[in-house]
Amino acid sequence: MTTAFSRISGNYDDLWLLTDNYRDWMLEKLLEHLKMQTDSRFADLGGGTGIFTHLLSRAVPLEPQAICVDPSAAMLLNAAKYSGVRTCCASAEAFLEPKVQLDRILVKESIHHIRDRRSFWRKVRSSLRPNGRVLVVTRPSLPEFPFFERAMAAFAASQPELDILLGEIADAGLSAVTNTEEHPVIISRERWYAMLRAGFMSSLAIFTPADIEQGILEIDRQLEGDPIRFSDRLFFVVVEHPTS
Read off the pLDDT of residues 82-107 as tens digits, 9 standing for 90 and up: 998 999 999 999 999 878 999 999 99
Q: Is residue 194 in some structural domain?
A: no
What is the span of the domain harbouring residue 107? 2-142+160-184+231-240
Q: Is residue 107 in some structural domain?
A: yes
Predicted confidence (pLDDT) per residue in 181-227, tens digit: 999 999 999 999 999 998 899 899 999 999 999 999 999 999 988 99
pTM above 0.85, yes or no: yes
Cα 122 to Cα 144: distance, rounded to the nearest angstrom? 32
Asked if residues 107 and 91 have their Cβ atoms less than 8 Å apart, the reply is no
CATH label of the domain that carries residue 18: 3.40.50.150
What's the average model confidence in pLDDT over 41-53?
Answer: 95
- Provide the pLDDT for residue 13: 60
Identity of the residue numbered 143: P
Q: Is residue 204 in some structural domain?
A: no
| Average pLDDT score over the chain | 92
Q: Is residue 47 in some structural domain?
A: yes
Cα 37 to Cα 31: distance, rounded to the nearest angstrom? 10
Q: Is residue 83 in some structural domain?
A: yes
7 has pLDDT over 80: no
Cα 109 to Cα 125: distance, rounded to the nearest angstrom? 20
Cα 203 to Cα 152: distance, rounded to the nearest angstrom? 9
Cα 215 to Cα 76: distance, rounded to the nearest angstrom? 31
174 has pLDDT over 80: yes
Give CA separation, 36 vs 84, 104, 110, 140, in Å: 15, 7, 20, 26
% of the chain beyond a pLDDT of 90: 83
Domain count, the chain: 1
Q: Is residue 132 in some structural domain?
A: yes
Of 10-24, 30-44, 62-76, 122-136, give the lowest mean pLDDT range. Answer: 10-24
127 has pLDDT over 60: yes
- Provide the pLDDT for residue 3: 47
Q: Is residue 137 in some structural domain?
A: yes
What's the average model confidence in pLDDT over 166-183?
Answer: 97
Q: What angle do CA 73, 134, 175 make, to 5 degrees?
A: 145
Read off the pLDDT band of 20 (50, 70, 90): confident
Q: Is residue 152 in some structural domain?
A: no
40 has pLDDT over 50: yes
1 has pLDDT over 60: no
